[in-house]
Structure 1
Amino acid sequence: MTVNDDVFTDWKNREEIAESMIPIIGRLHREKDVTVLLHSRSLVNKSVVSILKTHRFARQIAGEELSVTETFPFLNALTSLDLGPSQIDLGMLAATYKADSRGLSVEEFTAEAVAGATGDNKLERRDARDVVLYGFGRIGRLVARLLIEKASGNGLRLKAIVVRNSGGDDLVKRASLLRRDSIHGQFQGTITVDEANNKIIANGNEITVIYSNDPSEVDYTEYGIKDAILIDNTGRWRDREGLSKHLRPGIAKVLLTAPGKGDVPNIVHGVNHDTIKPDEQIISCASCTTNAIVPPLKAMDEKYGVLRGHVETVHSFTNDQNLLDNYHKADRRGRSAPLNMVITETGAASAVTKALPELKAKITGSSIRVPVPDVSIAILNLQLATETTREDVLEYLRNVSLTSPLKRQIDFTTAPDAVSSDFIGSRHSSIVDAGATKVEGDNAILYLWYDNEFGYSCQVVRVVQTISGVEYPTYPLPAA
């Protein structure tokens, strides 16, 4: 047998193991509401190749490839445990087991590591929480995809979409936009339209399309909706008074997918989501750029101290701009988005203080819109309180992306040829580009990629899970 045959045989063996993982992962998710992760990346509903690619990606952040031959024994051990709703990270289980010197078997170690999710400790499965989308644009449709994806567990259920009626074939056209996306590809599943009852049925989820021109027109209880979280994707109302219009019968809380004004709390999941008051009815998820820069800012401030900083965002164009030169209330956004770089303002820097009030450093910011349809980069230039080295900063941020409470927000890439399209579909709010990072003494410049559509939508759904009480703990727990 040649060397090439050995490599191919190894690949086929790993394919076979990955195939055997799929039904186990599916059963744990459907029957016990357990989400199986690999270094914060969900393996639920993934193909054989996707599972193998996720294992290989660990090489970029952990320094070596992780094989399914290493993680499968831990997954198999989970099947014998009395698990409750939780998230379990196979990558972390494998890493912590390798570092453990007690000589425990995989089964013994796994049972100990996830003990908080088993037996008398386990959480009870909750009834699904109703969710309503007000508006169905770029963010609305991506949030819808995520909610439908997660509905096979028992946490959240998308019950309705509220839009203005645009005339003939409105329902069919909106379903088509959910089914196909020029940037994010095909919807993973099936979509049918029930025109007689104004419903879109996606992977078995019946979603009522409610036509309304104003929040005050809707009584959601008429559609069987109760105690729901309404996600306003329009950005039309951004203060408490305006958003309170959504607090209609059937709606308990309102979540804004734009920076909130006045006393509306701006929440960046992973940073300040634990400050949400149980009785708070109106919450903002801040902006995509705020979600991209605040987690790394928090990490850098905790380790080195941040005295001051400036963020320059190179941002993909959005629907707010014109395709061709035309009137716009803003000075430059009226110029053709696909033909120009457009200097514009960003509120992300000023929003930092609302999400991270303990950060005393002054952060300034500016933005340039560029002719790409998705994925942006934030260049974060920081003056630190402590002198350090590039190697130290990169090692620290890589560890943050692997093991810290910010590991769902911060990702890390060492790919030397990384470009923006590589990060379409990233579920992290910020990806540190190791190759572009610059550090000299007390000055650090971080290049942070982010999918300003999908990564941000993931952050929105995480906040929804938090306020719904269905954001389950992840095991194994970080070391104290």
Structure 2
Amino acid sequence: MTVNDDSFTNWKIREEIAESMIPLIGKLHRERDVTVLLHSRSLVNKSVVSLLKTHRFARQIAGAELSVTETMPFLEALTTLDLGPSQIDLGMLATTYKADDRGLSVAEFTAEAVAGATGANKIERREPRDVVLYGFGRIGRLVARLLIEKAGSGNGLRLRAIVVRGGGAQDIVKRASLLRRDSIHGQFQGTITVDEDSSTIVANGNAIKVIYADDPSHVDYTEYGIRDAILIDNTGKWRDREGLSKHLRPGIEKVVLTAPGKGDVPNIVHGVNHDTIKPDEQILSCASCTTNAIVPPLKAMDDEYGVLRGHVETVHSFTNDQNLLDNYHKSERRGRSAPLNMVITETGAASAVAKALPDLKAKISGSSIRVPVPDVSIAILNLQLARETTREEVHDYLREVSLTSPLKRQIDFITAPDAVSSDFIGSRHASIVDAGALKVDGDNAILYLWYDNEFGYSCQVVRVVQHVSGVEYPTFPATAV
């Protein structure tokens, strides 16, 4: 048999195994609210090829490719356990099993590693938590996709309504079409139907009421059967406590802003300071996409090396705030054509670091350039460290952070030599360390951090909402703090 024959036979074997994994992953998700991951990447609702590619991608961060032949036994072991709501990482199970020298079987090791999610230790399913989206622009529609995708058994977050300003003829049909098709993020994964008479969009069985209102004070959400909901404001129109308090109407318990908050509104970066949210806090912000991109790696670097000072330069995709063609704009330079120019502008991300990382004493400055790409940005983080180090040490440290630390859902790591911005469309991490671009000279380190400023940020928003709603389930094997 030739090498080509061997490769093809091996592929067909792995393809067959991946096919058999899909129903097991789906059943765990639907029936037990268990999300199966591979190095922090969800395997739920993935195709055969996507499963195989995710396993292959492990070599970019772990240094070696994972095979479905290695992870399948752990998945099969999970199906035999009395699991409660949780996230279980097959990549971490396989990696830690290899390092274990006690001679345990896969079934024995798996049962021990996920013991915190089984039997008397398992979390009981929560009652479904209603979510309302106020505004349905770029971030609103991506958050909607994520909420629908994560509906699982229906006992977690449930998108119940969208609030928008009154539109013209076929308004709801056009909004559903924008949810169904996205020029950057592709087709919606599922089915969408519209009931114009009841003003409802049904997406993968989720009935979502479209409410028309020009002001938050005009809505009583209890009239739509909505109770104790979390409202996500995607408009950015109100950013202080007084303005956002307008959303605290009947049926709404908490308000989450998808823009930097002002005044005393807490700015939350999930993975860094989400555990500081007070149980009775009703209003909070998820900060900006850039703040979410730089704060996790900044915290990681400060924890290990100490940071004395730093500067962040963001090369940012253009946004809806800019003009397509030259026209009047209240801000300097943003009136010039976004798809035709690089535009120097300001970023509030550097000043927002203090809110998310109050213990960081270093002064962080920042600036930004908008460039003619529609999505994915890069933050160049230039740091003066408290001690000298080497490129190899920082490289290995950040790779380990992306694999095993509490920040592994926020920080990704890639070694691909030809990686460019479009490769990161759809990334669910807050930022991705580009290992090939990393520069270290003594006490100076320069990190190049890619981030999908739309989808990655939306994932961070949903994580915050899961946390405050009580449906952020623990991940196993447990990560050492």
> What is the TM-score normalised by the length of structure 2?
0.99
> After superposition, where does 1:38-49 map in structure 2 within 5 Å?
38-49=38-49
Question: What corresponds to 1:414 in structure 2?
Answer: 415
Question: What corresponds to 2:65 in structure 1?
Answer: 65
* 3-state DSSP of counterpart to 1:23: helix
Paired letter, 2:5: D
Alpha-carbon contact 2:405-2:480 (below 8 Å) kept? no
* 3-state DSSP of counterpart to 2:197: helix
* Structure 1 unpaired stretches of 5+: none
> After superposition, where does 1:390-429 map in structure 2 within 5 Å?
390-429=391-430
Alpha-carbon contact 2:328-2:335 (below 8 Å) kept? yes
C-alpha deviation, 1:478, in angstroms: 1.9
C-alpha deviation, 1:152, in angstroms: 2.1
Distance in 2, Cα, partners of 1:284 & 1:472: 21
Q: Are 2:101 and 1:101 equivalent residues in the alignment?
A: yes
Question: What corresponds to 1:341 in structure 2?
Answer: 342
- Runs of at least 4 residues off by over 3 Å: none
Alpha-carbon contact 2:406-2:480 (below 8 Å) kept? no
Deviation string 1:427-466 (CA, Å, 9 cap, x unpaired) is: 0000000011100000000000000000000000000000
Distance in 1, Cα, partners of 2:173 & 2:224: 20
Paired letter, 1:384: L
Distance in 1, Cα, partners of 2:348 & 2:411: 21
Distance in 1, Cα, partners of 2:190 & 2:128: 21
Question: What corresponds to 2:129 in structure 1?
Answer: 129
Paired letter, 1:404: S
C-alpha deviation, 1:331, in angstroms: 1.0
Question: What corresponds to 2:333 in structure 1?
Answer: 332
Paired letter, 1:261: K
Distance in 2, Cα, partners of 1:322 & 1:238: 23
Deviation string 1:279-318 (CA, Å, 9 cap, x unpaired) is: 0000100000000000000000000000000000000000
Alpha-carbon contact 2:325-2:337 (below 8 Å) kept? yes
Distance in 1, Cα, partners of 2:2 & 2:317: 48
* Structure 2 unpaired stretches of 5+: none
Distance in 2, Cα, partners of 1:289 & 1:40: 21
Distance in 2, Cα, partners of 1:391 & 1:274: 32
Deviation string 1:12-54 (CA, Å, 9 cap, x unpaired) is: 0000000110000001001110000000000000000000000
Distance in 1, Cα, partners of 2:77 & 2:461: 33
Distance in 1, Cα, partners of 2:370 & 2:438: 22
Question: What corresponds to 2:295 in structure 1?
Answer: 294
Percent of matched pairs sharing the same residue: 87
Q: CA RMSD in A?
A: 0.5
Distance in 1, Cα, partners of 2:224 & 2:320: 31
* 3-state DSSP of counterpart to 1:330: coil
Q: Are 2:84 and 1:81 equivalent residues in the alignment?
A: no
* 3-state DSSP of counterpart to 1:196: coil
* 3-state DSSP of counterpart to 2:378: strand
Paired letter, 1:288: C
Deviation string 1:37-88 (CA, Å, 9 cap, x unpaired) is: 0000000000000000000000000000000000000000011111000000
Question: What corresponds to 2:269 in structure 1?
Answer: 268
Deviation string 1:356-396 (CA, Å, 9 cap, x unpaired) is: 10111000000000000000000000000010000100100
Alpha-carbon contact 2:146-2:459 (below 8 Å) kept? yes
Distance in 2, Cα, partners of 1:163 & 1:3: 59
Distance in 1, Cα, partners of 2:119 & 2:148: 29
> After superposition, where does 1:97-176 map in structure 2 within 5 Å?
97-153=97-153, 154-176=155-177
Q: Are 2:464 and 1:463 equivalent residues in the alignment?
A: yes
Paired letter, 1:325: D
C-alpha deviation, 1:479, in angstroms: 3.8
Question: What corresponds to 1:248 in structure 2?
Answer: 249
The number of residue pairs the alignment matches comes to 480
Paired letter, 1:149: E
Question: What corresponds to 2:181 in structure 1?
Answer: 180
Alpha-carbon contact 2:326-2:337 (below 8 Å) kept? yes
> What is the TM-score normalised by the length of structure 1?
1.00
Distance in 2, Cα, partners of 1:188 & 1:441: 48
* 3-state DSSP of counterpart to 1:367: strand
Distance in 2, Cα, partners of 1:118 & 1:158: 28
Distance in 2, Cα, partners of 1:181 & 1:85: 31
Question: What corresponds to 2:285 in structure 1?
Answer: 284
* 3-state DSSP of counterpart to 2:460: helix
Question: What corresponds to 2:34 in structure 1?
Answer: 34
Distance in 2, Cα, partners of 1:149 & 1:128: 15
Alpha-carbon contact 2:61-2:403 (below 8 Å) kept? yes
Paired letter, 1:364: S
* 3-state DSSP of counterpart to 1:427: coil
